[in-house]
Amino acid sequence: METEPLVRLRDVHKSYGRTEVLHGIDLDVPAGRITGLLGPSGHGKTTLVNLVVGALVVTSGQISVLGEPAPPRRVKASIGFMPQSEALYDDLTAAENLRYFGALYGMSGKAMDEAIPRVLEIVRLDKDTGRKTVVAFSGGMKRRLSLAVALLHSPRLLVLDEPTVGLDPVHRVRLWSAFRDLTSTGATFLVTTHVMDEAVNCDDLVMIHEGAIIARGAPDELVARAGADSLEEAFLRYEAAAEAATDASASASPTEEARHA
């Protein structure tokens, strides 16, 4: 029996004033897999994940998360969210930040005592923070601590917006390996990225251009389908095809549209 997707979007539109930034998005996020949203900055990826976690509300369409309509208030404790902007307390240490957010998640003291060393080890902050407060952290350390906050309560669904921006290649590789390990224990990931060599680590990849999905599938399938030699080349080909289709639609007269309907 096929497992229901943990996240489902149907004909989702999002507008800011008169400007529509998402155009009829249909998307399923399967359980136990890493689904990546790939596209340039400013093309709707962050808006989409903010809709999923309930930070924004759709203009039209439907979203369900863990079986609940968005915004997913009743299942919020089962979601881990890492936004692009860190929401950390500069005057606290890494462990103190995690204790604060653990309390917000409703975790007991014992659960936090067990979880904090685990997530600090995953993000490689277990040996070099000590009593150092977050104000003294580098940008990369803050990104890793933000990820630790999202991982802390062992959520079923992790929504990560550009989780490795600003990290060096070694930490990026380690984190993607950790994501893969977590999927083997049942976690599900929805991850945004604009980095092609990271996108190949996803099980399912959704390419987004100007607020619309232009291609989807496994990374190697997308490359093969485009007749390309790399994921970057494949994206450029799907992007060009989408732009050509938009130009053709815009230039078609009503008579021509009716004739081809």
SS (H, E, C) 91-104: CCEHHHHHHHHHHH
Domain contains 1 = no
State the pLDDT at residue 218: 97
Q: Is the peptide bond before 155 cis (omega within 30 degrees of 0)?
A: no
Identify residue 155 by its one-letter amino acid code: P
Domain CATH number, residue 105: 3.40.50.300
- The total number of structural domains in the chain stands at 1
pTM of the prediction? 0.90
Per-residue pLDDT of the chain (261 residues; tens, 9 = 90+): 347 899 999 999 999 999 999 999 999 999 999 999 999 888 899 999 999 999 999 999 999 999 999 988 899 899 999 998 888 999 999 999 999 999 999 998 899 999 999 999 999 998 867 789 999 999 999 999 999 999 999 999 999 999 988 888 898 999 999 999 999 999 999 999 988 889 999 999 999 999 999 999 999 999 999 999 999 999 999 999 998 887 777 776 555 445 454
Domain contains 122 = yes
Expressed as residue numbers, the domain containing 47 is 7-260
State the pLDDT at residue 255: 53
Domain contains 26 = yes
Judged by DSSP in three states, 145 sits in helix
DSSP state of 78: G
Question: By C-alpha distance, which of 73, 45, 35, 92 is closest to 217?
Answer: 35
* Contacts of 10 by beta carbon, 8 Å cutoff, 6+ apart: 26, 61, 62, 63
State the pLDDT at residue 179: 94
State the pLDDT at residue 2: 47
Domain contains 164 = yes
Domain contains 2 = no
